[in-house]
Amino acid sequence: MKSSGRMQTGKKGEEIAARYLESRGYRIIERNYRSRWGEIDIVAKDGNTVVFVEVKCRRSESFGDPQSAVGTNKQRKVSRMSLAYLKEKGLYPCDARFDVVAVKMLPAGNRVELIRNAFEIAL
């Protein structure tokens, strides 16, 4: 279970990421989609492409870049959830991809990095 401090950081990071994506032309479809495999932070549309976005946040640089936390297991989990989402919403088949938004909430200010096509579907 996440501590309330980590949950607050995560929620704030997701809000920052959603605003950032919208400023880049993404249309947010859903946030915090839950399935039996877990949760997808943000589902968005970028043109005609459905984008599954994993948001990773850090409050310091001590633990490395946030995007490094999206390893093989997380990729598999998000892949399974994305297929469930597309099936449930009747969107399959369609163009889809996986992006990662890395948010660093530092004393000097927030830094946001978008990694488009961060990984391929992993099952």
Comparison of pLDDT for 21 and 105, the residue scoring more: 21
Structure tokens at 66: 């946030």
DSSP for 70-86 reads: --HHHHHHHHHHHHHHH
CB 28 within 8 A of CB 51: no
Number of domains in the chain: 1
User: What range does the domain containing 13 cover?
Assistant: 4-119
Using one digit for the tens of pLDDT, what is the confidence trace for 35-76? 888 899 999 999 999 999 999 887 766 555 555 667 788 888
> Is residue 29 left, alpha or beta, with left meaning phi > 0 and alpha meaning psi from -120 to 50?
alpha
Q: Note the pLDDT of residue 6.
A: 63
First to last CA, the chain: 25
Q: Note the pLDDT of residue 1.
A: 44
Q: Note the pLDDT of residue 29.
A: 96
Q: How confident is the model at residue 10 (pLDDT cuts 50, 70, 90)?
A: confident
Q: Note the pLDDT of residue 112.
A: 93
Q: Note the pLDDT of residue 17.
A: 96
Q: What is the CATH number of the domain that holds 71?
A: 3.40.1350.10
Using one digit for the tens of pLDDT, what is the confidence trace for 98-123? 999 999 888 888 889 999 998 888 77
Query: What count of Cα atoms within 13 Å lies in the side-chain half-sphere of residue 6?
Result: 4
Structure tokens at 77: 């989990």
Answer whether residue 93 shows pLDDT above 90.
no
Q: Note the pLDDT of residue 3.
A: 54
Phi then psi for residue 20, to 5 deg, are: -60, -45
